[in-house]
Amino acid sequence: MAAKRNPFGATQFRTLVAGIAAALTFSASATHAEDKEIIIASGFGPTSNIPDPRARQNGWLANRAGVSETLIGLDYEMNMVPRLATAFENMSETEWKITLRDDVLFHDGTKMTAEAVRESFAKLSEEGHPGHNPRLVSLLGIAEIEVVDALTVVFRTEAPNAAFLWSLTEPSATVLKEGTEEMPIIGTGPFVFDMAETDKTYQVTGFADYWGGAPKLDRLVIDAIPDASVAALALQAGDVDLVTHYPEPEFARLKEEGGAQLFSALTGRLFFIQVNMSDGPLANATLREAVSMSLDRETIVAASLVGVGGQAAQGIFPANMASWTNADLSLPYDPAVAMGMLDDAGIVDTDGNGIRELNGEDIVLQMRSYEGRAALRPSLEISQAMLSQIGLQVEIAMGEWGANNDALQAGEIDMHLQAWGTAPQGDPDYFPSTLAATDGAYNVGGYSNPELDALLEKGRSLFATEDRQPVYAEIQAILNEDLPLIPLFHKTQVSVGNGKVEGYRIHPAETYLATPDLTVVE
């Protein structure tokens, strides 16, 4: 295959589209003419030049790129399946036995052992280490890891945790060997980490000794193009082979015209608004309920996703999580009732300027979102217009995801519109525990409800699905009542290839992409 030009960053591409000359940059590692390579446009890039897959969200990228692997995986029906493990067993409420594959090599050629697993997981709780991950440490709750023999480990948890095995499927729960200067990230997957550039590109090469068989690709490049419309233009120009998150309006057009290489699948991703509960206007429960009631979710879905991408949300979980969704819940749209509630609560416009007042001040809500998912910006703009109809002024802006979280936690903004996978591990505990528990790692809105905390603890202590279901149904009901998170819609992922992509399939958890079968054909 002929050497392929590395796609330029979003800023450069916009400049080109505007008609201003821009220099084209080539991949840092040149490919040979015979190499088979695929370039994928993604909404997000690495968080550093050496992004340890155990830290923050780096694991998602490394897992999708085929560099890192977990002990347990999820199939396309969201069932747990062995990955680096061959078997897993719950020995007691706090003990979990994992039997490892005996044919796994790290990318430096050394064999994966039980001791290597123990050492890799130990880095999660080591402050100052690049793999430090307090959020995952909290989810796993590991008290001890015992090496039984070369291929057997026993995890002991601090408390009963029914979600433990599911949490081992999270991409950050990966098994790595400590890196070196020559090989800074040493994983076990079908691709070897080559290089990364913060927020821009992540590049890997095929690993011929992969336990699952040598990959069909020699090289894979994931380039961050946060603006989906720019990514679509890059595909049209032939600078990328696949766009994982294609703009829904363009996808709808291509679907109608026919002939394009289209991919779509339901996922567990929820578009929602996280609210500042600590102080400010939305600490008022009546105002939060009025905000939710004034958002026409069906219209937001129709306008943002053009009929190809989602379903209006009635709670935090989508319908395809049939085992866990509380089907009795609803999030009604009724702006007239919302305005009546505000009037009855004395949240009215006293000076005739069209803006309701709370505690004698105009309600001016600061709401932010971020690039990387095409539907966020239109959803932000439509929500602003809908809230203005009930007398609330909303000032909107696009920022960076982490900075938006910091601003919400500091009380500088009132709402953060974002998109999360509600069950990337296949278990219902992850999303509410991370975002709504009092000590949740991303509970940056300051929500605290002891009843919810107790139910989450109870849910983790029960091991039978039928026992856990009513607990998580009640958790969903409390969240719909308190509204620290205001659900908007559940997302279908849509992707477009250049007609030559083979072996690509959208996973419902969105955490898998580069398999040994992924390739491009002439």
Instruction: Judge whether 249 lies within some domain.
Output: no
Q: Do residue 503 and residue 466 come from a single domain?
A: no
**The pLDDT value given to residue 12:** 41
**The pLDDT value given to residue 27:** 40
Phi, psi of 309, rounded to the nearest 5 degrees: -135, 0
Q: Do residue 378 and residue 422 come from a single domain?
A: yes
Q: Do residue 140 and residue 208 come from a single domain?
A: no
DSSP H helices in 414-464: 430-435, 450-461
Question: What's the angle, vertex CA 406, arms to CA 404 and CA 409, rounded to 5?
Answer: 110
Query: What CATH number should be reported for the domain holding residue 121?
Result: 3.90.76.10
Q: Do residue 477 and residue 513 come from a single domain?
A: no
End position of a domain, from candidates 158, 182, 206: 182
| Number of residues in the chain | 522
**The pLDDT value given to residue 426:** 86
Q: Pick the closest to residue 60 from 172, 141, 199 (CA basis).
A: 172
**The pLDDT value given to residue 370:** 95
**The pLDDT value given to residue 340:** 98
Distance CA 332, CA 338 (A): 10
Distance CA 123, CA 127 (A): 8
**DSSP3 helix / strand / coil % (the chain, rounded to 5):** 30, 25, 50
State the DSSP code for 503: S
**The pLDDT value given to residue 10:** 39
**The pLDDT value given to residue 34:** 67
Q: Do residue 348 and residue 454 come from a single domain?
A: yes
**The pLDDT value given to residue 308:** 87
Query: What CATH number should be reported for the domain holding residue 448?
Result: 3.10.105.10
**The pLDDT value given to residue 72:** 97
Read off the pTM: 0.81
Domains in the chain, number: 3
Query: What CATH number should be reported for the domain holding residue 513?
Result: 3.40.190.10
**The pLDDT value given to residue 8:** 34
Q: Do residue 350 and residue 217 come from a single domain?
A: no
Q: Do residue 400 and residue 452 come from a single domain?
A: yes
**The pLDDT value given to residue 323:** 87
**The pLDDT value given to residue 26:** 38
Bridge partner list, 418: 272
Distance CA 185, CA 437 (A): 33
Q: Do residue 353 and residue 472 come from a single domain?
A: yes
At how many degrees (to 10) do helices 335-344 and 285-293 cross? 160
Contact 240, 41 (CB under 8 A): yes
Instruction: Judge whether 458 lies within some domain.
Output: yes
Please give the chain's pLDDT, 522 residues, in tens: 333 433 334 334 333 333 322 333 334 344 444 689 999 999 989 999 999 999 978 999 999 999 999 999 999 988 899 999 999 999 999 999 999 999 999 999 999 999 999 999 999 999 999 999 998 998 899 999 999 999 999 999 999 999 999 999 999 999 999 999 999 999 999 999 999 999 999 999 999 999 999 999 999 999 999 998 999 999 999 999 999 999 999 999 999 999 999 999 989 899 999 999 999 999 999 999 999 999 999 999 999 998 887 899 999 999 878 889 999 999 999 999 999 999 999 999 999 999 999 999 999 999 999 988 889 999 999 999 999 999 999 999 999 999 999 999 999 999 999 999 998 888 999 999 999 999 999 999 999 999 999 999 999 999 999 999 999 999 999 999 999 999 999 999 999 999 999 999 999 989 999 999 999 998
Contact 510, 267 (CB under 8 A): yes
Tokens of 93: 């409420």
Containing structural domain, residue 216 = 1-67+189-241+498-522
Contact 120, 175 (CB under 8 A): yes
State the DSSP code for 105: B
Instruction: Judge whether 173 lies within some domain.
Output: yes
End position of a domain, from candidates 163, 182, 201: 182
Amino acid identity of residue 337, one-letter, is V
Q: Pick the closest to residue 520 from 67, 5, 1 (CA basis).
A: 1
SS3 143: strand
Instruction: Judge whether 252 lies within some domain.
Output: no
Instruction: Judge whether 288 lies within some domain.
Output: yes
Instruction: Judge whether 260 lies within some domain.
Output: no
**The pLDDT value given to residue 364:** 97
Q: Do residue 470 and residue 507 come from a single domain?
A: no
Q: Do residue 368 and residue 427 come from a single domain?
A: yes
Instruction: Judge whether 257 lies within some domain.
Output: no
Q: Do residue 386 and residue 474 come from a single domain?
A: yes
Q: Do residue 409 and residue 281 come from a single domain?
A: yes
Instruction: Judge whether 511 lies within some domain.
Output: yes
